Each structure stands twice: as structure tokens, then as C-alpha cells.
């Protein structure tokens, strides 16, 4: 029945809207509807020359957004936006366009966000104030919640989402006129204290007087739960969020230190006026030492010297210099005695008289003793008067000398200075029996207070500074241990009682806690507490009801509600994204995007040709009436025909080159640098491998290490069997330097000997079938002298002979003369023989051959034969050959001439 009545009322309201509203096109990203509407949320998109303007609902819009009508306006260069209250956008369209509500809440007088909107922003000054709202619907910015109450009830409800129709909220939650109690952003963690307001950037904004990351304490100079400013004219207060604001130390105006003064008063001109008995010191500090005629006693006061003494010692007061006509008293070092007056005849004048030369004359009535007839000639003043600057003056009833701030001293018969920090002083009930130590201060230097007749820096315990004169320390009431402002405003109490707001009580009242004998107020966030901090709450007030980890918070999380019965947060029903109570009928917003709120219950939407608008909680078709007005009502104007309202965006194949972002360029640069580094590293690695191979080949050629030995193979087998650490690989112990050098020397000498043998062997040839000029039978061997090299080669080493050094060659066979130089080097067969040596084989061989050839020797038979042939005139030239014809007439062998019958003339 309820649903039927609701449908009838909805159709009726829709017809009224259709009859009274204007035609418009309302769009979200992906869909537009044309019809009659009063909705004003969002922004109006228009462009010159277009058939109709569009009302854009909150959302994200890009250059690919459908339909074609919306796409054409968004991409038009002349398009402009007109935002509604609470929305901020540039007049020109820049894609992508994020149309969103500014931090705050917008109240609409009618449902479905219709009517003239009223925007309330999130407080920027840190102060939440109550505000009456006349709202049929509410739009909330994302991450913002508001606390509301309805009518006169104290029911407090927290809204986290937009409400398209306040009448659809649970009846137990909000009914009647709405009141905005507070607004916060949910971005702060931890949450702000009660005085602070969370901003969208996640920081707490504090009102004036509050400070701290959560606005939990008072700033300096503020006190009380509202952090109000302390009164003016005070240096130190009872400040802080639990303080009373009472003045503890008053501000001192013109203290002596302000004009570089110690015992004086600073004037308006910056000059210091010294107290009696004080003068400036040599270091420039004013009124810091005793004036002439005064001395510094053990109490720090400047006392006057005795009569007749112009200078006396500090502490003791012993007279250093006496006045003219006075002599120092032998029995009292502090005093000087006046010389007795005598006449010219030698008569001694008695007290009260003086000598005028020939006789004694009476002193002035003001003088007790004198040196002349006037009152200025008194040595000791008469009764009731006291010496001051050479004159006798009287005193008042407090012993204060006439026309001065000095007090009478009966012992010295003169006026003496007041104590150091006193500007004025007196002796109560002064008489001839009064002593100067009975003097009491009646005025003090700025910065000092008067306590029991003395000037002190601060009032002692049990007294307070009287606010009437800011000078006198007054005793507290007997019930107080300490007090401030008045004698009965106790800061601490006697008899083990507790001071609470100036009074003494036996136990602390509610909303306070005990600390050091006083009852201090709880933090304003707490109802009761165990300490003064904002996280020491024991119970909470109604405006901050949620107690969590000692803190009082304004709300539970979005998916929870505060249960007053248990004073705890309870989870909402699964169909609710936020709620005001248990069950599915207390929803304030729906968790499913396909559901809408109806009377506190989330039901499936019945959107016609549309869907639920994200963030608004209603169908797009609920905002736009597309059907004609029902019968009985005034007809609605026909809807204009608009092209492209349902057409999708046509895709284009043209691609516009996109410029690279800075981070893409940076990544490409880093990638190229990495590839270059890898290539260089690989190249260096390959070069090191090649260098290692060349080093190994050199070591092998030089035989620096014999890896093929049985010891090396045994060690490598053990390492493979048992394992080893690279830094602990077992190697053959290195030989000493001398052994290695000796082995290297022996190897070089052995190689040198091999090279010499090769050189000598190059002269040895196979016997030629042709006649030879040298004998092969009687060769004389030339033995070399023993040397270290021959000793290394052994006793059986081959011997070098002249014949081997002068073996036959083609030159010898043709010319018959032995070569006087070594035969050219023959090519070697091994590349290892080309390795450099420390010795020069050619030089050694050449010098050795010449040494052997230059020795005289007997001619051989071949040489004798050659000489005989050369003496025969018909003999053919020496060394000539001819061909012997065969029977066939062709020459088939060579035969030498002049050999007789033998083919070998050397055997004849």
C-alpha cells in the first residue's frame, strides 16, 4: 500500500515539475536525457551556435565521452562552463574535466537537487558553528561528513553521502527542520581534537588560541577549555587548557636593569636616580657602589661612616681618614674624636661651647657640641636633631630625616641610609631608644615586592601579591597553602585537602582530576578523565560520543553507527554504506550502485533507459521528466529535436603524435646509460679474458709454472674432492727469490747453448759427391775451455771444430776459398725459438768463428792439390766441371777435371 501511494505521489510531483520546469538536456559521462527538470546541481555546458546547452552532473569527462552531442560540446574550442553553487570550474573547458563539489555541503530546498542551492564550505578557520538548514536534498563532497540533528530532538546523525531526498531517510533518524552541527574531512589520521577541523589535505586547522598537531592544547598566553587569552599586564599566568588565567608574576615597568642601574630608579629620560648612600662605579654601572662617607656592610647595605670620618673601610666601618680637627679614637677604630676647644689663655671649653680665641662662647641651641656659633658648626647635634650634610635636621614620627629618604641613627647622631633595595623606609614608633636595625622598607625598587618590611624578589610561600598595589605580599587564608589573587583563592590547601577552582574540598568533583594537591579540569573533549591530556578520557560527552583508546571522537567509521546503549560502534547492515542504527531499515546510503534509498531501506532501482548516477544515489531518469503531462494538467511544450543525443562518438583513425613526458625522457636516458655501461663492462671483461690468456701463454712458454706436474694435479683433485674457499685455495709454496733466479739463469744459459749448437750445426752439411777442397779425415778439433755453460751441458757435450765452423758451402766449392764469415742463419722450425734472449747469438757466433779461422794451420791435402793444379798452365780453371757424354751422346753426370784415373783426387 505504501509503495502504491508513493508511486502516485511521484507521478503527481513529476507532472507538476513538467508543467513548471524548462526543457533541458541533463548528462552524465556516457548518457544524456532530454526533458523537463528543475535540477541545478553541477555545471551548465554551452557553446555559441549549438542548439541546446547541457547540464553536466558531477563526474569525470574526457575527449572520448559519449554521446556525440556531449562529445562535440566538450571538444569545442568555444565551449564554456557555468558552475552552480559549490562547484568550481574554469569558464573554458579543459579535458579531462573533473566536475566535483568543493569541500562542503550544498542544501537544496526541494528533492532531487532542485531549487536555489545554498553552499556551506568546510570551515577554514577551525571553528564549527551550528546552522539551520531548510533542505529537501543534500549534496556532500567526497571524503566529507556532516553531523545533523532534526527538530528539537537531541538525536545526532552523521551523513557520509549525498541525500537526494531527505524524506527517504529513516524516520527515527531525521524528521523536521535540519540543523548542521559540524562538518569534518575524513582525511586526518589521527582524528582532530574537538576544537580542530580536519581539512582535505589531512591536517587539522586550529581556531585562535589552540595549537598542536590535533589542536589539543592551548597556545602560550591562553587558558581554559576554550583557550581564551590571558589578561594583560602580567608576565606569568596560570595558563594552559586546565589553567585559571590568574596572574602569577606581574610585569615590571622600568626595572633598574633597563638603564644599567643597580640600586636606583630609572627615569623617563633613561637616567638612574640612586638611593641615598649609592653612586656609580668605575665600570659604568650606575648606583653600584657606596658613595664617599658610606661603607658596604655585611648585608649589602651602604651605611654612613661615624661623625668626623670622611672615609671608612668596607665591612668593618673602620675610619681611614678623619675630618680636619678630628683625631682617630684609640679605643674605637670606627670613630674620630674632635679636639677640645681651648682659649688663648689655655682654658679648655666645656661641651656646649667653643673658643672664640680669648674666651669660651655658647654653641647654637641646636648643637650639643660645636666648632662655631651657627647651627652649621655643630659637631654633635642637640636632642631631637641629627646631622645631615653638615646641618642638624629633625625627624618625623617614623624617624625619617627632614627633606630626605634617610632614617635617623641614634648611635651615630646622624641620618643613615635605608637598606639597599628600599626607596623609602622608616622606624615605627621612633624614639631616642630606637635603633637603625628596626628600620622597615615602605617602598621598593621596580621588580621587588614588600614582605614584612623588606624588599624581596618574590612573595614567600603562604603569601600573595596584592592586586591593589602590586607591591605588598599579603598572607593567604589559613585554609590555603598557597593562594593567588586573593587570600581565599587557594592553589593548594592545608589539612590534606584538595584545591578545586580556588576552594578547598575533600575530593575532586566531576570533570576534574587530582594532581599535586589540586583538582584540575579535564580536557574539554572528555566528560571524565584520568589526566589532563586529550587521550586520557574515561567517558565522553554527547557531541564527541565515541570512546576509542582514551580519546573521544565525533563519529564511528562510515560503515558503523554509535550504539547509545553499549556506548560502542556497531557495524551497519551489509546493504548500507552508512546507517543510523541496526538492521536494513536504518540505511542512510546504499552500498550497491544498483540500489536506491526508499524510507531508510535500499531497494533495486527501476531506472527507465538510464542508470543510477554515481555519488548522487538516484536514477538519471528521476532528474528528467521525458513523458507528456497527464490529463487534467496544462500541456507541456513539446521537446525540441536534438541530434546526436543518443549517437555514439565516431572513432577517428588519425593519430596525433604525443609528446613525451619528462619522466619518460628520464627513463629513456637512464636506460641508454645502463645499456652503455653494460656494453663497456662486457668489453672490459672480454679484454681481461684475452689478457689472462696471453699471460697464461707467456707463462707456459717461459715455464713459470708447471700445472701439469703430478703435485699440481694431486692438489686440484683434493680441492675438487673436499672443496675450498677461493681465498684459501692451496697453492704450491712459492720458491725463494734466489732459487727462482738461479733456475731462470740456468734456463737462459741452456737455451743459449742450444742456439749456439743450432748455429754451428747449420755449417755441417752432407758430403757432396763433387770434389772437396778440405779433408774429412784429418779434421782437427778445437776444444773450448771449460765454462759454466759447458758444465751445465755435461761432459758429453759436442765439441766445436774448425771444420764444423768452416764446413763446405757453395761459395767454397766454386771459389776454392773458405768463407771468412758465418753462414747466413737458417730458418727455425719452432716459434718458441724466436723468443728473446738475454744473449746475442749472432755476435757470439761471429766472434768465435773468426777466432778459430784466424789461427794458422797446416794445409790439407786438398789445399796442396789445389795449389799444384793452379801451377799447371794447361789446366782448366780451378773448380771447373764438365759433362761426360754417355753412349747415347747425352750428358748424364758431372765429372771434375784433373783427377787422374780416380774419381776422388783426395784419396790418391
CA angle 645, 650, 654 (to 5 degrees): 145
Q: What percent of the chain has pLDDT over 70?
A: 77
Q: Give per-residue pLDDT as tens, 696-752.
A: 888 777 766 555 667 777 877 777 777 655 555 545 455 566 777 888 888 888 888
Residue 84 has pLDDT above 70, yes or no: yes
Band of residue 805 on the pLDDT scale cut at 50, 70, 90? very low
Give the number of other CB atoms < 10 A from CB of residue 805. Answer: 23
pLDDT band at 51 (very low <50, low <70, confident <90, very high): confident
Q: Is the peptide bond before 607 cis (omega within 30 degrees of 0)?
A: no
Calpha distance 437→417 (Å, rounded): 11
Task: Identify the pLDDT of residue 846.
Answer: 46
Residues 43/89, Cβ–Cβ less than 8 Å: yes
**Rounded Cα distance, 186 and 198, in Å:** 7
Beta bridge partners of 295: 303
Burial class (CB in 10 A: 0-12, 13-18, 19+), 43: buried
- Distance between CA 521 and CA 529 in Å, rounded? 9
- Cα–Cα distance measured from residue 650 to residue 652, given in angstroms and rounded to the nearest whole number: 6
**273 beta partners:** 265
**130-152 burial code (b ≥16 CB/10 A, e <16):** eeebebbbbbbbeebbbbbbbee
Instruction: Express each pLDDT in 145-191 by its tens digit.
Output: 999 988 767 788 999 999 999 999 998 887 778 889 999 999 999 99
Q: Looking at residue 807, what is its pLDDT?
A: 47
Instruction: Write out the DSSP string of 464-502.
Output: EE-TTTS-BEEEPPTTEEEESSSTT-EEEESTT-EEETB
Report the candidate in 684, 706, 858, 834 with the shortest Cα–Cα distance to residue 779.
Answer: 858
**Are 166 and 639 in contact, with CB atoms under 8 Å apart?**
no
Who contacts 605 (Cβ-Cβ below 8 Å, separation ≥6)?
A: 594, 595, 596, 611, 612, 619
| pLDDT band of 611, cuts 50, 70, 90 | confident
Cβ-in-10-Å burial (0-12, 13-18, 19+) of 620 comes to: buried
Binning pLDDT at 50, 70 and 90, where does residue 546 land? very high
Sequence-distant (6+) residues with CB within 8 A of 563 are: 569, 570, 582
The pLDDT > 90 percentage for the chain reads 45
Go through 332-347 and write b for each residue having 16 or more CB atoms within 10 A of its CB, e for each that does not.
ebbbbbbeebeeeeee
Q: How far apart are CA 261 and CA 66, in angstroms?
A: 86
- Confidence category of residue 814, pLDDT binned at 50, 70, 90: low
**Based on C-alpha coordinates, what's the Rg of the chain?**
64
Average pLDDT over residues 862-883: 55
Ranking 351-365, 371-385, 504-518, 828-842 by mean pLDDT, the lowest is: 828-842
Higher pLDDT, 698 or 563: 563
Report which DSSP code applies to 354: E
Asked which of 210-214, 292-296, 347-351, 835-839 is least confident by mean pLDDT, the reply is 835-839
Of the candidates 627, 631, 605, 629, the one whose C-alpha atom is nearest the C-alpha of residue 616 is 605
> How do 289-290 and 294-296 pair as beta strands?
unpaired
User: For strand 54-56 and strand 22-28, is the pairing parallel, antiparallel, or unpaired?
Assistant: parallel
Check residue 871 and give its pLDDT: 54
What's the pLDDT score for residue 558? 94
**pLDDT tens for each residue of 183-220:** 999 999 999 999 999 999 999 999 999 999 999 999 99
Confidence label for 658 from pLDDT (cuts 50, 70 and 90): confident
Q: Which of 440-444, 476-480, 819-823 has the least mean pLDDT?
A: 819-823
pLDDT tens, position by position, 301-330: 999 999 889 999 988 999 999 988 888 888
Q: Give the whole-angstrom CA distance, residue 159 versus residue 145.
A: 6
| Beta strands at 31-37 and 59-61: parallel, antiparallel or unpaired | unpaired
Write down the pLDDT at residue 646: 82
Terminal-to-terminal C-alpha distance of the chain: 160
Which tens digits make up the pLDDT trace of 447-501?
A: 999 999 999 999 999 999 988 888 899 999 999 999 998 999 998 998 889 999 8
**pLDDT over threshold 60, residue 800:** no
> What residues have CB less than 8 Å from 552, skipping those under 6 apart?
194, 525, 526, 527, 534, 537, 540, 541, 544, 545, 546
Would you state the pLDDT for residue 21?
A: 58
Of 268-277, 628-637, 679-688, the poorest mean pLDDT is in: 628-637
Residue spans of alpha helices (H) in 565-661: 620-623
Provide the sign of the torsion angle of the four alpha carbons 32, 34, 39, 40, taken in this order.
positive
**Integer Cα distance of 882 and 890 in angstroms:** 12
How much is the pLDDT for 775? 44
For 864, phi then psi, to 5°, come to -65, -40
pLDDT of residue 291: 93
Q: Which residues of 402-432 are buried (b: 16+ CB within 10 A; e: fewer)?
A: beebbbbbbebbbbbbbbbbbbbbbbeebee
Beta bridge partners of residue 424, listed in sequence order: 443
- Polymer length in residues for the chain: 908
What are the tens digits of pLDDT across the range 569-580? 999 999 999 999
Using N-to-C axis directions, what is the helix angle for 737-761 and 841-853, rounded to 10°? 50
Question: 414 with 394: CB under 8 angstroms?
Answer: no
Is 725 in a helix, a strand, or coil?
coil
CA dihedral 764, 769, 771, 775 (to 10 degrees): 40
DSSP calls for 206-255: PPTTEESTTS-EEPTTEETTTTEEPPSSEEEE--BTT----EEEEPPSS-
| Torsions phi, psi for 150 (to 5 deg) | -125, 135
Beta carbons of 486 and 478 less than 8 angstroms apart: no
If pLDDT is split at 50, 70 and 90, which confidence band does 586 have? very high
Q: Give the residue among 634, 618, 640 at the shortest CA–CA distance from 10.
A: 618
pLDDT tier, 789 (very low <50, low <70, confident <90, very high otherwise): very low
Query: Does the pLDDT of residue 18 top 70, yes or no?
Result: no
- What is the three-class DSSP state of 846? helix
Mean pLDDT computed over 341-358: 86
Mean pLDDT, rounded, for 325-336: 87
Amino acid at each position: 500500500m505504501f509503495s502504491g501511494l508513493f508511486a502516485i505521489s511521484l507521478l503527481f510531483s513529476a507532472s507538476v515539475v513538467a508543467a513548471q520546469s524548462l526543457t533541458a538536456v541533463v548528462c552524465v559521462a556516457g548518457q544524456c536525457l532530454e526533458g523537463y527538470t528543475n535540477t541545478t546541481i553541477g555545471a551548465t555546458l554551452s557553446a555559441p551556435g549549438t542548439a541546446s546547452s547541457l547540464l553536466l552532473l558531477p563526474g569525470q569527462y574526457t575527449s572520448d565521452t559519449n554521446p556525440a552531442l556531449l562529445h562535440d560540446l566538450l571538444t569545442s574550442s568555444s565551449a564554456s562552463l557555468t558552475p552552480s553553487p559549490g562547484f568550481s570550474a574554469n569558464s573554458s573547458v579543459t579535458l579531462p574535466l573533473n566536475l566535483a563539489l568543493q569541500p562542503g555541503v550544498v542544501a537544496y530546498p526541494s528533492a532531487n537537487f532542485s531549487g536555489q542551492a545554498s553552499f556551506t564550505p568546510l570551515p577554514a578557520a577551525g571553528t564549527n558553528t551550528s546552522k539551520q538548514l531548510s533542505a529537501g536534498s543534500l549534496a556532500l563532497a567526497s571524503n566529507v561528513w556532516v553531523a545533523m540533528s532534526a527538530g528539537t530532538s537531541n538525536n545526532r546523525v552523521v551523513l557520509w553521502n549525498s541525500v537526494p531526498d531527505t524524506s527517504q531517510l529513516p524516520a527515527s533518524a531525521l524528521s523536521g527542520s535540519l540543523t548542521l552541527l559540524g562538518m569534518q574531512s575524513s582525511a586526518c589520521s589521527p582524528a582532530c581534537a574537538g576544537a580542530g577541523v580536519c581539512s582535505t589535505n589531512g591536517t587539522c586547522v586550529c581556531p585562535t588560541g589552540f595549537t598542536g598537531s590535533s589542536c589539543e592544547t592551548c597556545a602560550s598566553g591562553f587558558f581554559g577549555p576554550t583557550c581564551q587569552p590571558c589578561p594583560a599586564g602580567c608576565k606569568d599566568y596560570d595558563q594552559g587548557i586546565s589553567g585559571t588565567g590568574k596572574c602569577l608574576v606581574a610585569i615590571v615597568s622600568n626595572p633598574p636593569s633597563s638603564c644599567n642601574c643597580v640600586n636606583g630608579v630609572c627615569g623617563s629620560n633613561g637616567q638612574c636616580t640612586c638611593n641615598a648612600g649609592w653612586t656609580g662605579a668605575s665600570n659604568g654601572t650606575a648606583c653600584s657602589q657606596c658613595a664617599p662617607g658610606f661603607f658596604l656592610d655585611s648585608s649589602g647595605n651602604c651605611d654612613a661612616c661615624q661623625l668626623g670620618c670622611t672615609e671608612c673601610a668596607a665591612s668593618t666601618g673602620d675610619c681611614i681618614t678623619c675630618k680636619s680637627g678630628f683625631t682617630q679614637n684609640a679605643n674605637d677604630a670606627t670613630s674620630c674624636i674632635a679636639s677640645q676647644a681651648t682659649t688663648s689663655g689655655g682654658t679648655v671649653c666645656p661641651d656646649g661651647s667653643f673658643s672664640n680665641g680669648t674666651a669660651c662662647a655658647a654653641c647654637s641651641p641646636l648643637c650639643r657640641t660645636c666648632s662655631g656659633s651657627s647651627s652649621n658648626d655643630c659637631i654633635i647635634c642637640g636632642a631631637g636633631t641629627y646631622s645631615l650634610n653638615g646641618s642638624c635636621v629633625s625627624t618625623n614620627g617614623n624617624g625619617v630625616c627632614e627633606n630626605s629618604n634617610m632614617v635617623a641613627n641614634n648611635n651615630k647622631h646622624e641620618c643613615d641610609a635605608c637598606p639597599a633595595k628600599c626607596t623609602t623606609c622608616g622606624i615605627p614608633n621612633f624614639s631616642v631608644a630606637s635603633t637603625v636595625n628596626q628600620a622597615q622598607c615602605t617602598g621598593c625598587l621596580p621588580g621587588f615586592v614588600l614582605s614584612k618590611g623588606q624588599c624581596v624578589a618574590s612573595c614567600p610561600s603562604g603569601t600573595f601579591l596584592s592586586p591593589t598595589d602590586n607591591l605588598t605580599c599579603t598572607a593567604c587564608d589559613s585554609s590555603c597553602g598557597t593562594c593567588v589573587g586573593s587570600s581565599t583563592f587557594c592553589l593548594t590547601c592545608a589539612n590534606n585537602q584538595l584545591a578545586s577552582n580556588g576552594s578547598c574540598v575533600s575530593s575532586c568533583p566531576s570533570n576534574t582530576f587530582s594532581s599535586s594537591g589540586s583538582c584540575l579540569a579535564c580536557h574539554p573533549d572528555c566528560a571524565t578523565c584520568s589526566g589532563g591530556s586529550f587521550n586520557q578520557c574515561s567517558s565522553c560527552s554527547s557531541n564527541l560520543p565515541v570512546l576509542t583508546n582514551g580519546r573521544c571522537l565525533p563519529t564511528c567509521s562510515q560503515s558503523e553507527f554509535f550504539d547509545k546503549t553499549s556506548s560502542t560502534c556497531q557495524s551497519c547492515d551489509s546493504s548500507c554504506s552508512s546507517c543510523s542504527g541496526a538492521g536494513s531499515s536504518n540505511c542512510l546510503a546504499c552500498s550497491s550502485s544498483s540500489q536506491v534509498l526508499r524510507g531508510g531501506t535500499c531497494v533495486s532501482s527501476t531506472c527507465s533507459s538510464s542508470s543510477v548516477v554515481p555519488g548522487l544515489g538516484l536514477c538519471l531518469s528521476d532528474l528528467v521528466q521525458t513523458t507528456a503531462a497527464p490529463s487534467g494538467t496544462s500541456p507541456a511544450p513539446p521537446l525540441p529535436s536534438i541530434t546526436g543525443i543518443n549517437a555514439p562518438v565516431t572513432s577517428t583513425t588519425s593519430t596525433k603524435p604525443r609528446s613525451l613526458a619528462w619522466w619518460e625522457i628520464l627513463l629513456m636516458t637512464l636506460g641508454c646509460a645502463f645499456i652503455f655501461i653494460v656494453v663497456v663492462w662486457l668489453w672490459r671483461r672480454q679484454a681481461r679474458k684475452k689478457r689472462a690468456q696471453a699471460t697464461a701463454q707467456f707463462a707456459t712458454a717461459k715455464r713459470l709454472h708447471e700445472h701439469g706436474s703430478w703435485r699440481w694435479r694431486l692438489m686440484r683433485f683434493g680441492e675438487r674432492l673436499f672443496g675450498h674457499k677461493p681465498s684459501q685455495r692451496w697453492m704450491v709454496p712459492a720458491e725463494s727469490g734466489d732459487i727462482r733466479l738461479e733456475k731462470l739463469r740456468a734456463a737462459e744459459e741452456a737455451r743459449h747453448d742450444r742456439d749456439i749448437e743450432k748455429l754451428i750445426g747449420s755449417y755441417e752439411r752432407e758430403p757432396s759427391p763433387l770434389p772437396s777442397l778440405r779433408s774429412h779425415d784429418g779434421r782437427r778439433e778445437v776444444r773450448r775451455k771449460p765454462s759454466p755453460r759447458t758444465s751445465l751441458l755435461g761432459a758429453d757435450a759436442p765439441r766445436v771444430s774448425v771444420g764444423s765452423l768452416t764446413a763446405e758451402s757453395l761459395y767454397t766449392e766454386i771459389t776454392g776459398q773458405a768463407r771468412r764469415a758465418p753462414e747466413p742463419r737458417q730458418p727455425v722450425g719452432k716459434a718458441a725459438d724466436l723468443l728473446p734472449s738475454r744473449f746475442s747469438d749472432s755476435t757470439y757466433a761471429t766472434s768465435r768463428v773468426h777466432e778459430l779461422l784466424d789461427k794458422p794451420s797446416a794445409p790439407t791435402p786438398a789445399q796442396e792439390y789445389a795449389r799444384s793444379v793452379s801451377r799447371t798452365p794447361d789446366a782448366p780453371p780451378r773448380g771447373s766441371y764438365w759433362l761426360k757424354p754417355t753412349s747415347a751422346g747425352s750428358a748424364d753426370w758431372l765429372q771434375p777435371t784433373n783427377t787422374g784415373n780416380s774419381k776422388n783426387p783426395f784419396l790418391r
